[in-house]
Amino acid sequence: MPPAADGGAAVLEAPVRVAPPVAAPQQVAPAPQARQQAVEDDVPSWVTEFSDDSAVAAPASSHPYAPSPSAAQAGQPEDPHAIAMPARAAPAPAKAPYAYVVTPVPELNWDGNWPAVAAALPLRGTAQQLAMQAEMVSCTFEGNAAVFTLRVPIETWRTPGNLEKLTTVLTERFGRTVRVDSELGAVWYTGSAEAQAYRDACQRAAEDIVANDPFVNSMIRELDAWVVPGTVVPPQFSAAAAG
């Protein structure tokens, strides 16, 4: 190294080390998963996974009694892979294994129609159920007593108390001594079944009258009206009075 001008040793100054400029921190965008997690954390607690934008409100009917869409339209599944279940037909009513034959009983001056007599007897409670739900098997005579043999579907109906009440009202009805015997078994031709058949016939007749009424049909054609299902009710008549 060359000597200094004043004869002293030359001193070299170390160059000043300048620190490199600190780069400004760059804001890194959160990963998609983290962003989704943050959004989910902001969702109110009452919103569940079913509350998404794909939910569509069910179309409201223009009228509270408007008829529902046809079964063909309502049964079309949106998913092409969905399985369309066939409509299940209503079970057919069971058929009686034998025909009902009304046998007159001349000794009692009676036509033998047990359902009509059972419906007119002055009974209440389970004694009335015994009369209305029982089927007469036979009406025979033992001396001066008329013996009514009834088939009953439920054991608790043919208790001694109910049989005694039924015997009393039958004795008053026919004006002679009556005895009631009972057996347990399936029944078909009863006062209850006769009353139900009569109510069904009245309902069908009332619906036919409304369906064929000219005024109702004109309202349907001109005003796009309809008959609310279940509102057609026939007049209330008893089967006994009809007979």
- 145 pLDDT above the threshold of 50: yes
84 vs 208, more confident: 208
When pLDDT is averaged across residues 26-43 and rounded to a whole number, the result is 52
Within a domain: residue 64?
no
**pLDDT for the residue numbered 154:** 93
- 231 pLDDT above the threshold of 50: yes
Task: Find the DSSP H helices in the chain.
Answer: 32-42, 71-74, 114-120, 125-133, 160-174, 191-211, 214-223, 239-242
Express each pLDDT in 102-113 by its tens digit.
889 999 999 999
- 153 pLDDT above the threshold of 90: yes
**pLDDT for the residue numbered 199:** 84
Domain of 175, CATH number, reads 3.30.300.150
Domain with 168, as residue range(s), is 106-189
Q: How many CA atoms lie within 13 A of 234 on its CB side?
A: 15
The confidence band for 197, taking pLDDT boundaries of 50, 70 and 90, is confident
**pLDDT for the residue numbered 13:** 52
Give the integer Cα–Cα distance in Å for 19 and 206.
104
Summary mean pLDDT of the chain: 73
Question: With pLDDT > 70 as the criterion, what percentage of the chain qualifies?
Answer: 57
Give the integer Cα–Cα distance in Å for 90 and 107.
45
One domain, residues 160 and 111: yes
One domain, residues 200 and 185: no
Number of domains in the chain: 2
One domain, residues 112 and 179: yes
Question: With pLDDT > 90 as the criterion, what percentage of the chain qualifies?
Answer: 35
